[in-house]
Structure 1
Amino acid sequence: MNKLANLLKSDQVIAYPTEAVFGLGCNPLSQSAVEKLLILKQRPVEKGLILVAPDLDFLLPFIDTKNFTQQHWNRLQGQYDRPTTWLVPVDMAVPKFLTGKFNSIAVRLCHHPAVEQLCYATGFALTSTSANLTGLPPCKTVAEVRSQFGADFPVLEMPVGDAKNPSEIRDLFTNQLVRQG
């Protein structure tokens, strides 16, 4: 765990398990790390990235909360029967390499032990995009990660959670479904 946390602190990309699939993660405040992730994933910067963390304190620096009502806070922190990512207003200081073409940012409270351990060890939220090369299915095992990204790719060797699908994405203010989970 310490080795992977140190890689994240050194602007590297790792794979780690989430609720349903392995994610590719890095320090969201490191442009060089995010660029490495986008190149590795073959993902256009315009799409933006999801941030995950076990605690809202890790995500608050990225969110503009000035128009939040109690209903928004409750929705963001709610417990759901499936992983739920929320599109929220982005703080003006957040770099475009995280938000892409959007004026919002996607965030998810994730209580998978891997995410908890990595965030508490590094002190920051993680980027989260499914660990797969474009056109291939998301990785659900360590072996699949190594098959797609190489035998030496840094991966946290823990199982994924019990969720059947990657997170659904919803707009925090309207609750509108953006991506089916």
Structure 2
Amino acid sequence: MTHLTLSQTVSQINAGDVVAYPTESVFGLGCDPFNEAAVQKLFHVKQREHTKGLILIAATVEQIAPYVLLHNQAWQQAVLATWPGPVTWILPTKTHLPNWITGGRDTVAVRVSSHPTVQALCLACGHALISTSANPSGQPPAKSCAQVEAYFQNQINCLDGALGNLSKPTQIIDAQTGHILR
């Protein structure tokens, strides 16, 4: 495993690779959401089912605005009151998103993160990224680059950095129903 700089991480994402990086509570795996080969690699290394859907993370609301119904919706104020921050919202899609992102649903999980590394990464890439916990399905999420290496054995490079202050993964809320999913 290689410990990456921010610019190396952006280059790897642009080249279609999957990378690990610190988030609010655990290390995440991410890639370009519209690069199907990269997303398929992510599913493969995680041993994750394609039907679960994935989270899009962003540095700004503008980075996810093209994909979701948010503005002029009943839930707009509740969502924007938590961003940037550690809350993931399930929002209806505005445009068709690939099934590998949505799991075949007409909704998508999105978060505008306040974590400085996530923000810097999304801003440097210029777009939202896929984000899912850095672990094989069924295992505890990685809390360091060393744990990423132990799980993925040189398949994933890591942008090292400090985790945020959350002790558990971010909360997930369905914006249309207000139901807390996690």
* TM-score, length of structure 1 as denominator length: 0.91
Correspondence for 1:35: 40
Correspondence for 2:10: 5
Question: Aligned residues, how many?
Answer: 176
Structure 2 CA distance for aligned equivalents of residues 75 and 114 of structure 1: 25
In structure 1, what residue type is equivalent to 2:16? D
Residue from 71, 74, 81 that aligns with 1:78: 81
**Residues 105-126 of structure 1: CA deviation (Å, up to 9, x unaligned):** 0001101111111111111111
Residue from 106, 111, 115 that aligns with 1:112: 115
Whether 1:63 aligns to 2:52 is no
Structure 1 CA distance for aligned equivalents of residues 31 and 154 of structure 2: 19
Structure 2 CA distance for aligned equivalents of residues 107 and 152 of structure 1: 26
* TM-score, length of structure 2 as denominator length: 0.90
Structure 1 residue runs without a partner (length 5+): none
**Residues 72-119 of structure 1: CA deviation (Å, up to 9, x unaligned):** 222222238x72110000123211110013220000110111111111
Structure 1 CA distance for aligned equivalents of residues 123 and 102 of structure 2: 24
> Identity of paired residues, percent?
38
Tell me the secondary structure at the aligned position of residue 88 of structure 2. Answer: strand
Correspondence for 2:181: 178
Q: Is the 8 A contact 1:77 1:109 kept in 2?
A: no
Shift of 1:135: 2.2
Structure 2 residue runs without a partner (length 5+): 1-5
Correspondence for 1:98: 101
Cα RMSD after superposing both structures: 1.7
Structure 2 CA distance for aligned equivalents of residues 101 and 146 of structure 1: 31
**Residues 29-72 of structure 1: CA deviation (Å, up to 9, x unaligned):** 11111111111111111000011112101111221347613xx2
